[in-house]
Structure 1
Amino acid sequence: MDYNPQTDPSDYFNRKYVNSDRLASYTHQVESVTDLLPASVLEIGVGNGITRDIIKKLVGVIKTLDIDPKLKPDFVGSVTAMPFPDSSHDLVLAAEILEHLPWDDLPKALSEIKRVSKKFAVITLPHAGYTFSLQFKLPLLKRKSFTWKLPHFWKEHKFNGQHYWELGKKGFSRTRVTKIMNQAGFNVISDTIYPDDPAHCVFILKND
């Protein structure tokens, strides 16, 4: 299947797009990647380049792949057919990418991510639902937080020109997505929803 860019490049560079919620998402992407101590990173989807620039300073080696040449990625191509040898990158980051593919293409994309990743993958997905969170800080102790999400499991997802599906909506549970990740050969180490970024779920995958 041929894929076309869904977002105008100018949309990535405005104040409404780069808001506090999105910056929180970038923070968790960067921390998830750097905590795994990779020697090389492949980022799928360039966006505005903020995560790329930070990871490059912290890791040193990062390459980018995108279907839109206007974003000036290092490589132009699709996540379902990447122009890389097997195990060519320690870690692959795909943040808010896979929901832009038809659901039936998800297994193929995950298999490709596993093929080119040597050790890990970090995948973030939009998660629809109601969020309940609690944070507190006591003297001499780290900040503690608890988050509980009620998915919109009763809502049918309607294609909006960008997202073909969303985690948490009817038929797209975390359990179902995790199963597909396992079938692709990944071990799902964690799937986390952060209190300051409840709209996304961050998956840490190990390439066994």
Structure 2
Amino acid sequence: MDIQVEHTVYNDLNYNDKGRFNSFWHQIDAALALKPKTIMEVGTGNGFVKFVLKKNNVAVSTIDIDPKLEPDILASVLSIPVGDNAFDVALCCQVLEHLPYENFVPALTEIRRVVSGHLILSLPDMHRAYRFNMQLPILGEIKFLWTLPRLKSQEWTFNGEHYWNISNKNYSVGRIRSDIEKAGFKIEKEFCVFEMSWHRFFILKKK
């Protein structure tokens, strides 16, 4: 597997924008709601999620293929050198699109092997979504995403980082859900981040 993202990108403010920090918040919120003692984070990133989880007394081990990111486990998600059920929960956010799609189910299957409970997964979704946010008397804040289907799915070719994205041609959200089930997970919850609508989250439970 080739390293696609230079390690310095994760410290760049263009990468760490407001929307991404909202996505980090959802990762942390979803993880803490499961009350795990141990978490495996696939993809080291900038270390923010691990930092906050550790402050909440969760033991976090990161796995990555880039030694410059100094992961706890230097390995591919396709072959994780730990025993079965080694972690309570796994976090794998904005990572698997960096692998050819034929590796999607094998990667999920390997993650399933090393967790005893849940996987928090997020993937890029190129659907069109519009944000509505209103503050009304008595009712308070009302916000929602409105998705507008495309008449024709857009083609996608490898751009040096992403091999595929949800909602591009041949990668419908229905196909993703089916393959998640095929890998041995049940979808408990699914949502897109309001502030960064192209981050689609799946809260998955090991079958």
Which bin holds the TM-score, normalised by the shorter protein?
Answer: over 0.9
What's the offset of the Cα at 1:141? Answer: 5.7
Choose from 2, 16, 30 the match for 1:18.
16
Partner of residue 184, structure 2: 185
- SS of match in other structure, 1:81: coil
Partner of residue 69, structure 1: 67
Q: Deviations over 1:87-141 (max 9, x none)?
A: 1100000010100000001110010111111100001101102112323344566
Is the CA contact 1:154–1:170 (under 8 Å) kept in the aligned structure 2?
Answer: yes
For 2:104 and 2:56, locate their aligned partners in 1 and report how far apart those are by CA, in whole Å.
30
Q: Deviations over 1:1-56 (max 9, x none)?
A: xx021111111112211111111111111111111111110000001111111111
1:198 paired to 2:197 = yes
Is the CA contact 2:153–2:167 (under 8 Å) kept in the aligned structure 1?
Answer: no
- SS of match in other structure, 1:113: helix
Distance 1:140 1:86, change over 3 A: farther
- SS of match in other structure, 1:31: helix
Q: Deviations over 1:159-178 (max 9, x none)?
A: 00010000111111111111
Is the CA contact 1:128–1:151 (under 8 Å) kept in the aligned structure 2?
Answer: no
1:136 paired to 2:102 = no
Distance 1:151 1:4, change over 3 A: farther
For 2:177 and 2:102, locate their aligned partners in 1 and report how far apart those are by CA, in whole Å.
15
Choose from 95, 98, 103 the match for 2:96.
98
Question: Percent of aligned positions with the same letter in both sequences?
Answer: 33
Partner of residue 176, structure 1: 175
For 1:162 and 1:148, locate their aligned partners in 2 and report how far apart those are by CA, in whole Å.
28
Letter in 2 for 1:9: H
1:111 paired to 2:93 = no
CA RMSD, 1 decimal: 1.5
Partner of residue 89, structure 1: 87
- SS of match in other structure, 2:90: strand
- SS of match in other structure, 1:104: helix
For 1:38 and 1:181, locate their aligned partners in 2 and report how far apart those are by CA, in whole Å.
22
For 2:118 and 2:181, locate their aligned partners in 1 and report how far apart those are by CA, in whole Å.
13
The number of aligned residues is 206
Mapping 1:138-157, distance limit 5 Å: 138=136, 143-150=141-148, 154-157=153-156
Distance 1:25 1:151, change over 3 A: farther
Is the CA contact 2:22–2:193 (under 8 Å) kept in the aligned structure 1?
Answer: no
Partner of residue 121, structure 1: 119
What's the offset of the Cα at 1:142? Answer: 6.2
For 2:135 and 2:35, locate their aligned partners in 1 and report how far apart those are by CA, in whole Å.
29
Letter in 1 for 2:198: A
